[in-house]
Amino acid sequence: MGLMEGSARESVGTLSSWLRCYRCWSRNLEVQVHYEGILKIDPETGEAEDPVEEVQEAVVQCLDCMHDQPHLSLAFYEIDGRRVSRLEPVEDRWERLVTGTPWVASCTVTVDADEVETCSGPEAAESLAYAAFGDYGTREFFTHVRFHKHEDDKIVVHLLVELYARSAEEATQVLEQAARGPLAITSLAEESRPPAASGESPH
């Protein structure tokens, strides 16, 4: 998933085209940055040096409808010796989510049993959704695991999935690309878009 840079970013139009919630089109967004790092300490000065290891995750959320925004990512730049951060659209995702409509699919995904971390208890649904669709299943799609079946060394996960797309063909393609095993779609229906927070169109 690439971020748009320079002239490519300018070609998508104004910021209002993509700098908004993809569900309710609100521009009331915030970024939650989670950082973990291991810093080496200088034994002479006690100063923390550059990180030996660091992991940083940024989650963009709409403050009006409280949904995560998987079409936006936080990018960092060095400008005149200072670190600047700004939101950028995820190139192969933003337009589909912002201009698309919700589609609900009833489907199954068959995965290797060892891909499922746990299939019982409070974390089972997220584990099964991740096994079926990876990050899409826990970050972009709204997944409801209806049930699962064990078949030898495989697990068949039965789900209802809501995703955003501009057509049935695109919705099917996104599901096929995200599935981490054989996918069977039993039904696919377009739903109404949630009401806009500000009553404005994204265009």
Q: What pTM, to 2 d.p., does this model score?
A: 0.77
Domain end point (choices 35, 67, 96): 96
Nearest to 137 by CA among 181, 169, 84: 181
| Domain containing residue 168 | 101-190
Q: Is residue 170 part of a domain?
A: yes
Task: For residues 102 and 62, give the distance between their C-alpha atoms in angstroms, rounded to a whole number.
Answer: 17
Judge if 72 and 111 occupy the same domain. Answer: no
* Domains of the chain: total: 2
pLDDT digits (tens, 9 = 90+) for 72-90: 988 877 777 787 788 899 9
Mean pLDDT (whole number) for 85-112:
93
